[in-house]
Amino acid sequence: MSVLKFTPKQFDDFVSAMLKTGRPVMAPQAKNGRFAFGPLASPADLRLDYDVTILPPKKYVLPQVETLLEFEVCGPCRSVQEGQPMILLGVHPYDLTAILQMDELFRQGQYDKHYMDRRCQITIIALDVVTPSANVFASSMGTATVRSGYDILLTVLKDGSILADVATAKGQELIRLAGSVVPASEADLKARKDVWEHNNAALNKHILLCKPSLLPKILEQNYNHPVWEEKARLCYSCGSCNQVCPTCYCFDVQDRVNWDLKTGHRFRCWDGCLLENFATVAGNHNFRKDRAARYRHRLYRKGKYVPEKIGGQIACVGCGRCISACTAKIANPVEVYNRLLQDTKLG
């Protein structure tokens, strides 16, 4: 549609105008020396220069805990749709890629109305990365920049001005709050292209030594590779890698009864395939009781199983959060994939 140019002051005014609409604005802010997405109260708290957030913005499309139904105990249930209009501001391209993948997974086959309704009501303002994080490898995964999937894409230029690429009607509606901003010039667009080119190469603290599209084939040949056992030997099965991952979407479903003991709700909550009892059935039979099998399952989901469901796109977006979160320092997908690559004969 159009690319507009904000001065920092104009952008703050735009953020203030969004806050005044009463719609919740979730945005990256400083938190104990790191960054986290949370409800924004003032433009001053917004950190467009954040490197990576502790948890991905996934928590707004698939909350940690989400009510699905309300019920009378042992009685009938009724659907609950918790989705509310929301602005998700400052989503990095790799996290946006993850959300777009999840959109497809919850849409395809049996349509998940709880996810989709929540998602439909969110306006996403993406943001090109300003500061690379310690473990990012989005350049390797082809997710350092995006060309679609956002409502608005922000790019901070070297001179501090901010370009806003308005891509959808939802974005258009929001940008009306911006007042009088000027269209970006040719020189601005060139400066933006430079940012993209830079990010496409520079968000690469760990370098995958092959194209991501080769991962399914590499994995296919290495189901019994010793790396699974070697890495998993140190695994605590804590599930941290699952919890911080923007593409993990496995969930558990549980019931909770209210204090009146008459009513309650059924909710889903995040789960993780690394946790010991993820595949345990009633009677205590665990179908994936070996740590190595769980460790392998996660990397197969990212590199093969989920891609097969969503048209080939690899379900690791290179945010590097699992690398930072893993206590045992074994979660780095690049290390594992490169090791497999080294031992694979590709015909």
Partner 1 sequence: MCECCSGHPDIYLPQMATITKRRMLNGTELFLHLEMDSGQDLRYKPGQFVEVSLAGIGEAPISISSSPTQKGLELVVRNVGSLTKAIHKLQVGDKLGIRGPYGTTYPIEEAKGKDLVFICGGIGLVPQRSFIRYALDHRNDYGKIIVLIGTKCYSMRLFREEIALWQERKDMTVLETIDEAHDCWDGNVGVVTTLIPKIENELPGSLVLICGPPIMYKFVLISLAEAQVPEENIYVNLERRMKCGVGKCGHCQINDKYVCQDGPVFRYSDLALVPEAI
Where does this chain bind partner 1 (CB under 8 A)? 68-69, 71-79, 81, 83, 105-106, 109-114, 116-117, 120-121, 223, 249-255, 257, 264, 266, 268, 271, 273, 278-283, 285, 287-288, 293, 297, 300-301, 304-305, 308
Nearer to partner 1, 217 or 266 (CB): 266
Q: Is the CB of 8 or the CB of 63 nearer to partner 1?
A: 63
Which one, 33 or 109, has the nearer CB to partner 1? 109
Q: What is the DSSP string of 126-172?
A: EE--SS--TT--HHHHT-SS-SSS-SEEEEE-TTS-EEEEE-SHHHH
Minimal distance, residue 213 CB to partner 1, in Å: 17
Q: How far is the CB of 255 from partner 1 (least distance, A)?
A: 5
- Tell how strand 251-257 and strand 182-183 pair up: unpaired
Q: State in angstroms the smallest separation of the CB of 251 from partner 1.
A: 5
| CB nearer partner 1, residue 68 or residue 317 | 68
How is residue 131 written in tokens?
A: 């500061």
CB of 304 to partner 1, least distance (A): 7
Q: How far is the CB of 206 from partner 1 (least distance, A)?
A: 26
- The answer to whether 334 and 206 have CB atoms below 8 angstroms apart is yes
Q: What is the rounded distance in angstroms from the CA atom of residue 305 to the CA atom of residue 262?
A: 42
Question: At its nearest, how many Å lie between partner 1 and the CB of residue 313?
Answer: 15
Left if phi > 0, otherwise alpha if psi is -120 to 50, otherwise beta: which for 263? beta
Choice between 206 and 298, CB closer to partner 1: 298
Closest to partner 1 by CB, 80 vs 189, is 80
Minimum CB–partner distance for residue 263 and partner 1 (Å): 9
Give the 3-state secondary structure of residue 94: helix
d(CA 53, CA 64): 16
Pairing of strands 86-91, 25-31: parallel
**214/279 with CB nearer partner 1:** 279
CA 241 to chain centre: 13
Residue number, 120 or 201, with CB nearest to partner 1: 120
Buried b / exposed e over 235-262, threshold 16 CB at 10 Å, is bebbbbbbbbbbbbbebeeeeeeeeeee
DSSP string, 288-345: T-SHHHHHHHHHHIIIIIHHHHTTT--S-----HHHHH-TTS---HHHHHHHHHHT--
Per 3-state DSSP, the chain is made up of helix, strand and coil in percentages (nearest 5) of 35, 20, 40
CB of 121 to partner 1, least distance (A): 6
